[in-house]
Structure 1
Amino acid sequence: MSDTKKINQLKIYEFIKSYIEERDYSPSVREICKAVGVNSTSTVHNYLNALEKDSLIKRDPFKPRTIRIPKNSSNKKKMVNIPIIDSIIIGDSIFSPENIKGSLPIPVDYTENMNNLFIIKAYDESMAKIKILIGDMVIFEKTDHVENGEIASVLLDNKIVMGRFFKKENYIKLQPESTSMKPIIIVNYIIIGKLVGTGRFFT
């Protein structure tokens, strides 16, 4: 299973857990679709089946809206903290303690590259067309190579910016996924990562 699908499962799990804690009953499938940005109810059903297989949720097949979180849910036993990075202060490594602003726990089995992941918090709507919204935790794999058309994170004046990557002869273009924002043209650049998933957490 891809990292993106695993992260989507985590988003759905977190939404269900928060919804039940607030209301004492579970959300409908359509409410889950709307909350996590998935259009297909069948896709959500597939995610729910996977969560149930992992013993993270329980459902009654004969009753609607009966999703519950088992008391012995084991998701907390398999967590790894992914560093949250906002700007680069120390250039030797993006994982230097001075560059890390916090961390976010992600289940170990939701990613295969947990030693090379970092998170950037989305502060604007530059990726809105691909359902990355303000406040979302955008998960990147550390790499200095990104193919044209992939979502990249690039170091620009000690700040990390993200966009759809296109390499030209003497510069790169970071194309936002938003009709209200213009592309960023960068001559001197350092690629630091490529998108592998996003998380929207409900507290």
Structure 2
Amino acid sequence: MTTASNQTHTKTTEELDKFLQERPAPEELVEKNILKEPHVAPALQAQAEELRRSQLEDALNTKLEHRPPISELVEHNILHEPHVAPTLQAQADDLKRSQLEDTLNTKLEHRPPVSELVEHNILHDPTVSPALQAHADELRRQQLEDKLNAKLQDRPSPGTLVEKNILDTSALHQLTRLSPLNFPRQLITSYGCRQSLRDAQRL
């Protein structure tokens, strides 16, 4: 009997020690309004509780003011439609699900093909392995650059633009007074190169 009693006492002591180790800190108990604030005088305790209650009420009112309207919650399927009878709620949910599915299918039908997304550099080419993707991107960039350079080379000279009344002659003569060394970079880009400038000077 003595041995059994000692074992029971030891077990109880261990459980009590474990409970004491796992009990929350006094600050946590005060925060949850389980204990009174130890640093507040008893005469001020009621005022402290009233202040805490008021702060909690203000926080709750703020959350209530910023909560979404019921119509929005219904639209996002968080709440059921309050104007629909419970017996019809399942049918209303099925109808809403069907409408959502139709909308999604319509968007999927009108989405551009993968090849177009790859062409516009929105998606990577799925036929190219990830290890070669950087090389493929560089090749595509080079092709685009070559195409742009070809278009720049084929653009008309300033003389042609003047003949077609696209470029004003007086403005062009004013530009030709500038030294090629001081010629603004953006204008050189506009007219192509120094050869274009010499063409303009002959006008």
Q: Which protein has greater RCO, CA pairs closer than 8 Å, 6+ apart?
A: 1
Structure with a larger share of its residues in helix:
2
Q: Which has more radius of gyration?
A: 2
Structure with a larger share of its residues in strand:
1
| TM-score, normalised with respect to structure 2 | 0.16
| TM-score, normalised with respect to structure 1 | 0.16
